[in-house]
Structure 1
Amino acid sequence: MATRHLYVVRHGAADPFGELTEAGRRQSHLLGERLACLPIDVIWHSPLPRAVRSAQVMGDQLPGVPVREAVELVDHVPYVPEHPPAAWAGFFDGYDAAEAAAGARSAEALISRFARPADVETHEVLVTHAYPVAWLVRHALDAPPVRWLELNCGNAALTVIEHRSGLAPTLVLYNDMGHLPPDLRWTGFGATVRP
């Protein structure tokens, strides 16, 4: 039975303009080194600069592996709850129906392209953003749509999801930062304890 192995990663740390910082380059390099022992077929990345550059840095550690853009990996809000949790009320304030519908279409395109089995064994790296990582994990767990809000993804953290025909997806690993030294383990979402 063929397995589609997805190595889903959030881009490295970036500045307010979306360019990788020195820490983001180090994170991406270390993640590339970790992936180098695997039979990676392709690195897909979001069209946004922080993901593009992260994929390029990882690709430097994986000679011969193609690095390609996938618009489905672009940063987006995949689901807007009708009644957001109080902690998220400010985030969704002013979000209109058109924006919510566009996010839902992007989420469906992401799932349709990547969250399904392949005809042959594949090993694909997806360099994306925190929200699409959370959406793919939520989908793999068949959790209610609102649960994506509770998944906080670290910069250059590794999540592994496997898809096989006729079976539910398997979440093998979530948000693993073992390849990063403590000073590079961060979610990018405010001050917090770094594991």
Structure 2
Amino acid sequence: MTEVLLHVVRHAEPGYASDSEEPSAGLSARGRAQADALGARLRDRRVDAVLHGPLVRARETAERVAAAAGCTAVAETAHLDDRTPLPRDVTQAPEPYRRFVASATAAGGDEVDPDGVALDAAVAAFSAGGAARTVSLLLGDRPGADRPPGAPLRLVLVTHAFVVGWFVRHALDAPRWRWMGLNPSHASLTVLHLRDDVPANLLGFDDLGHLSPDLRSGVVVDRP
């Protein structure tokens, strides 16, 4: 049976020069510390590859996580780009979210993903049956080649908040609008266990155990 462990990560805190999300923004000093702490936590997980979206904040997070985790296999993929999977029919979302859907659709932008078509492709690319092929296309046969027989492929996917929410929504077979309200913090850890022909297991969501209180940001609800 093919097994994959996906460590799905929202990028670390960016250093925006204004209130707008600048695509060219790299990490803040706190963001760099967050990424280093996450990589240190993953060091004993024997990560096979760290993959990231094309924006600078995702790339810098991935590079620092990989360095601290001792992983040399790092690659960029458009599957992990910033996406907002908005339903074309606003009535598919519950009433409390319809104003957000309408305003985000009207604002447009490259990240708008009507009906989540691009994110469906991302989920398929990193499914139990597709992940090894995706990694091979990005990095060749090197990542994970020395895994013990039967050991899962262990991947870190550095992406964006709504993408993390979509992966979780899909894993739980929840309604397609239900990524809304799933709000991971910067450099938090979400883990999915995938196997062929078996429903996915959500092993953890928005885990901040590697971050001290002063390193936490993008947090919706404070916690111990």
Question: Which range, TM-score by smaller chain?
Answer: 0.7 to 0.9
> Which stretch shifts more, 119-128 or 170-179?
119-128
Q: Which runs of 5+ in 1 are unaligned?
A: none
Identical pairs, percent = 34
The 1-side partners of 2:37 and 2:204 are apart by 17
Aligned to 2:127: 115
Which structure has the bigger radius of gyration? 2
The 5 Å alignment of 1:8-87 reads 8-16=8-16, 17=22, 18-80=25-87, 82-83=90-91, 84=93, 85-86=95-96
Matched ranges for 1:33-182 at <5 A: 33-80=40-87, 82-83=90-91, 84=93, 85-86=95-96, 89-90=99-100, 92-93=102-103, 95=105, 102=114, 104-117=116-129, 121-182=152-213
TM-superposed deviation, 1:5: 0.6
Residue identity opposite 1:122 in structure 2? L
Query: Please, what TM-score do these two structures have when normalized by structure 2?
Result: 0.77
Return the offset for 1:67: 0.7
Unaligned runs of 5+ residues in structure 2 are 17-21, 133-149
Cα distance between partner residues in 2 of 1:87 and 1:161: 26
Task: Return the alpha-carbon distance in structure 2 between the equivalents of residues 156 and 103 of structure 1.
Answer: 27
Count of aligned pairs between the two proteins: 192
Distance 1:58 1:165, change over 3 A: same
Output the CA distance in 2 between the equivalents of 1:64 and 1:193. 31
Post-superposition shift, 1:161? 0.2
Quick one: which amino acid aligns to residue 162 of structure 2?
A: Y
Report the RMSD for the aligned CA atoms in angstroms: 2.3
| 2:124 maps to amino acid | S
Q: 1:39 to 1:21 in 2, by over 3 A?
A: same
The 1:153/1:129 distance shift into structure 2, 3 A limit, reads same
Q: For residues 199 and 161 of structure 2, what CA distance do their matches in structure 1 show?
A: 23
TM-score, scaled to structure 1 = 0.88
Structure 2 counterpart SS, 1:35: helix
Cα distance, 1:65 vs. partner? 2.6
